[in-house]
A and B are shown apart, each in its own frame.
Chain A
C-alpha cells in the first residue's frame, strides 16, 4: 500500500479506465434492451380507478374470460375477442409509464400492452418510477417519451395530480394520453381512462364480508394502503359503503397503514390484534396485505374467528383464497386496461379517433364460500383469469 508513485501518473489511467468501461457498458445496454422480467415483490396496493365521477361510470361490464391474447404468459381475462390485424399498428410507437418496475400488477400491465401491440406490429417503450410516489421519475419518463416521438402514452400516475403539467405538454405535442388503472384529478386531464372502478371493488369486498357475517355484529379491523393514496381511499370508502358503515362507526376497532406490503401488514395486524382480539372481520387493501394479516391471525390462533376480504386478483391471491388464507378477493383485469389503451392509441395513430371518458374494465368477486345476494365466481374460474 505504500507505493511512492507520484500522483500525476494516475491522472491518465482514470479517464481511460472510466472511458473504456463506460463505452462497454453503454454498448451492452444499447444492444441488450430486453423486456424486464417479472419481479415478484408486490410493493404497493396495485392501483385503482379513481373515478371523480364514479356515479357517471358506465355500468361494469362483466368480465367474461375471453380468448387469451397471444404471447402473454398467463391467460388474459376478458381480452377483447375482436380479431387483431397484424399490420394495423405498423410504425406506431406507444409509451407506457407505470408506478414501479417491480409490482406484478404493473408487470402484467406492461406485458399485456407489449403483447397487444406486437400482435398488431406496433412498438412499446416501457418506463416506470422508482418507488410509489416517485412523481419526478414519472414526469421525466413522460418527457423523454415525448422527446422520442411516440404517438400515445399510457400512464399509471403515482399521484392523481402530480403529472398534470407533463401530461398537458404531451397532449399539446399532439400525443394521445391515456390513464390506466388510476385516474387523474381532474379526470379530463387525460384523453381517456381504462381502469377498475375501485369504489365498486371495495363495495364488493364489503358486501361479501357483511353477508358472510350474517347476523353477527361486525367488529372490523382495516389494513389500509398508503396514507392519502387515491386508490386506497376509494377502496377503503367502498368497503365501508358495502358494509353499511362509516369511518366513525364504533364497529371499526382499528386501522393501520401497510403500504400494501406483506411484512408491514403482518406487523400492523399483530399490533391490532393486541388491541382488539375480539375482531371478526378484516378489510385489506390488497392481497399481500391480506397474506401478512393472515400470518398474524394464524399466530394468534384466530383463523376461524376472522373473515378476511381483499382486492387484486393475482394468481397468488386466488391460490390463497383456494387455500382458505383469504375468504374472498375482488379481481381486477390489468390486461384489459393495457389492451384497451393500446388499441385506442393505434386507432388514434391510424385515423385520428380519440378515446374518451372512463372505461371500467370490471371487477369480479372470487370466493369458494359464496354469500347470498353477492355475485361471485369460484377459485377455478379465478385461476383461469388471474394475473401475475
Chain B
C-alpha cells in the first residue's frame, strides 16, 4: 500500500471535548443584549415564540448535522419536507390523517434512501447528488400539488401546533418534539456504536475502513434517517401553518447549514454535535426576534447571521490547523 497522506488521528475523546463554548457565549450574549435594550424580549410569551419559530428548521437541522458529520451536505432536505407536507395533505384528504402520517414517513425515508444510494453506490459527491434531488423534488412537488396550496383540517396533522402549559409557560407540542429529536440524536451519536461510526466515517474515512467500519452502510443509514427527520419536520410545519404550500421553505437547506455551522460543527466532517446545532438554531431565532423587538430592520439580522457563519468557519479552521 502506498503511504497514505498524514491523517488526523481519530479518537473518541475529541468528540466529547466539543467546543460548544463559542456558540453558547454568542447565544447568551445576544439574550443579555436584547434583554437590556428592549422591554418585551424576556417575556415568557416572547421566549416561547422564539422556540416555536425555530421548530421546523431546528428539526431539519438535526438531519443536516448527521449528514455534515459524515463529511457530506444535504441540499435537498427542505424539498423533502415540503414534498412531505403536500403528500400529507393529499393523502389525508383521501384516507385520513393517521394514514397520511405513515405514508409521509415512508415517502420521505425513501427520498433519503435515494440520496444515500446515489452517494454510496455510485460514489457521487453529496453536494451534487442533493443539488439534483433538490431540483427534482421541488418540481415534482409542484406537479403533485398542481401548484395549489392545500389547507389541512385541524386534528392529528396539526397536532404539533397545539399549545399546552408547563406551569405558566405556554408552548407547543412541536417544541417538545423538536427537543425530543435532539435528545434522541444526541444519545445515538454519543452513546452508541452507530453514532461513533458516523463520526469515524466523517473524521477519517481511512481509519474507519481499517477499523472494520462499513462506510456505505453508515452513510446509507444517515441519509435514510435524515429523510425520516424531514418527515417529522413536515408534520411540525403543518402544525405551525396548517397549509401545505409547494413554494414554502425554499431556503431551508441553507438555513439548516447555517444553524449547523454556527453551532460549531465542522463542514469537513467528523467534528461537531447536535447540541451545538440546537444552539445555532436558537441564535438565529433570537437574532430575528430580538432585532424585531429592538425595531431594527430585518436585513441586519441576515447580515449578523452571515457574519456569524464566517466567524464560525474561521474558528473551525483554526482548530483544525492546531489539530494537525
Complex Cα distance A371/B23, Å?
Answer: 65
Interface centre among A12, A132, A133, A164 (most CB of B within 10 A): A133
Contact among A36, A101, A147 with B289 in the assembled complex (CB-CB below 8 Å): A147
Asked if A228 is an interface residue, CB under 8 A from chain B, the answer is yes
Contact among B22, B149, B246, B292 with A148 in the assembled complex (CB-CB below 8 Å): B292
| Residue pair B298, A133 in contact (C-beta under 8 Å) | no
Asked if B243 is an interface residue, CB under 8 A from chain A, the answer is yes
Asked if A214 is an interface residue, CB under 8 A from chain B, the answer is no
Which one of B102-110, B196-204, B315-323 is at the interface? B315-323
| Residue pair B292, A145 in contact (C-beta under 8 Å) | yes
Complex Cα distance A30/B49, Å?
Answer: 21
Chain A nearest CB, measured from B141 CB (Å):
11
A2 cross-chain contacts in B, Cβ below 8 A: 324
Chain A nearest CB, measured from B230 CB (Å):
15
Complex Cα distance A5/B26, Å?
Answer: 25
Complex Cα distance A228/B249, Å?
Answer: 16
Interface size counted on chain B using CB atoms at 8 A: 69
Chain B nearest CB, measured from A332 CB (Å):
22
| Residue pair B322, A159 in contact (C-beta under 8 Å) | no
| Residue pair B53, A143 in contact (C-beta under 8 Å) | yes
A301 cross-chain contacts in B, Cβ below 8 A: none
Interface centre among B49, B151, B248 (most CB of A within 10 A): B248
Which one of A121-129, A205-213, A362-370 is at the interface? A121-129
Interface size counted on chain A using CB atoms at 8 A: 61
| Residue pair B248, A134 in contact (C-beta under 8 Å) | yes
B321 cross-chain contacts in A, Cβ below 8 A: 1, 3
Q: Mark A210-237, 1 if CB is under 8 A from B, else 0.
A: 0000000000000000111000000000
Q: Nearest CB to that of A131 among chain B residues?
A: B250
B23 cross-chain contacts in A, Cβ below 8 A: 18
Asked if A324 is an interface residue, CB under 8 A from chain B, the answer is no
Complex Cα distance A25/B286, Å?
Answer: 14
| Residue pair A30, B294 in contact (C-beta under 8 Å) | yes
Contact among B14, B298, B304 with A26 in the assembled complex (CB-CB below 8 Å): B304
Q: Nearest CB to that of B289 among chain A residues?
A: A144
Asked if B245 is an interface residue, CB under 8 A from chain A, the answer is yes
| Residue pair A10, B322 in contact (C-beta under 8 Å) | yes
Complex Cα distance A23/B40, Å?
Answer: 20
Q: Mark A120-159, 1 if CB is under 8 A from B, else 0.
A: 0001011110111111100111011101110000000011
Chain B nearest CB, measured from A26 CB (Å):
5
The binding surface of chain B is classed by DSSP as: helix
Chain A nearest CB, measured from B31 CB (Å):
11
Chain B nearest CB, measured from A260 CB (Å):
13
A164 cross-chain contacts in B, Cβ below 8 A: 242-243
Asked if A250 is an interface residue, CB under 8 A from chain B, the answer is no
Asked if B43 is an interface residue, CB under 8 A from chain A, the answer is yes
B229 cross-chain contacts in A, Cβ below 8 A: none
Asked if A7 is an interface residue, CB under 8 A from chain B, the answer is yes
Contact among A6, A18, A30 with B33 in the assembled complex (CB-CB below 8 Å): A30
Chain B positions 92-125 with a Cβ under 8 Å from a chain A Cβ: none
Asked if A34 is an interface residue, CB under 8 A from chain B, the answer is yes
Asked if A162 is an interface residue, CB under 8 A from chain B, the answer is yes
A123 cross-chain contacts in B, Cβ below 8 A: 295
CB-CB under 8 A for A228 and B248, given A3-B321, A29-B296: no
| Residue pair A14, B322 in contact (C-beta under 8 Å) | no
Q: Nearest CB to that of B255 among chain A residues?
A: A130
A148 cross-chain contacts in B, Cβ below 8 A: 38, 40, 292-293, 295
Complex Cα distance A290/B146, Å?
Answer: 25
Q: Nearest CB to that of A25 among chain B residues?
A: B304
Asked if B307 is an interface residue, CB under 8 A from chain A, the answer is yes
Complex Cα distance A130/B324, Å?
Answer: 40
| Residue pair B307, A25 in contact (C-beta under 8 Å) | yes
Complex Cα distance A141/B292, Å?
Answer: 8
B19 cross-chain contacts in A, Cβ below 8 A: 11, 14
Q: Nearest CB to that of B14 among chain A residues?
A: A7
Asked if B135 is an interface residue, CB under 8 A from chain A, the answer is no
Complex Cα distance A284/B177, Å?
Answer: 45
A131 cross-chain contacts in B, Cβ below 8 A: 250-251
Contact among B241, B297, B304, B311 with A18 in the assembled complex (CB-CB below 8 Å): B311
Asked if A22 is an interface residue, CB under 8 A from chain B, the answer is yes
Chain A positions 29-44 with a Cβ under 8 Å from a chain B Cβ: 29-30, 32-36
Complex Cα distance A135/B149, Å?
Answer: 12
A11 cross-chain contacts in B, Cβ below 8 A: 17, 19, 21
Complex Cα distance A22/B305, Å?
Answer: 10
| CB-defined A-B contacts under 8 Å, sample of 18 | A2-B324, A15-B22, A18-B25, A18-B315, A21-B307, A36-B297, A131-B250, A132-B247, A134-B251, A135-B248, A136-B249, A139-B53, A144-B288, A144-B289, A144-B292, A148-B293, A162-B243, A162-B248
Taking A26-B34, A148-B38 as given, write out 18 further A-B residue pairs in contact, using a Cβ cutoff of 8 Å, ordered by the A residue number: A7-B322, A15-B22, A15-B25, A22-B25, A23-B29, A30-B33, A32-B296, A33-B294, A36-B298, A127-B298, A132-B247, A136-B53, A143-B52, A144-B293, A147-B43, A161-B243, A163-B241, A228-B146
Chain B residues in contact with chain A, CB under 8 A?
Answer: 14, 17, 19, 21-26, 29-30, 33-34, 37-38, 40, 43, 45-46, 49, 52-53, 56, 142, 145-149, 151, 161, 237, 240-243, 245-251, 288-289, 291-301, 303-304, 307-308, 311-312, 315, 318-319, 321-324
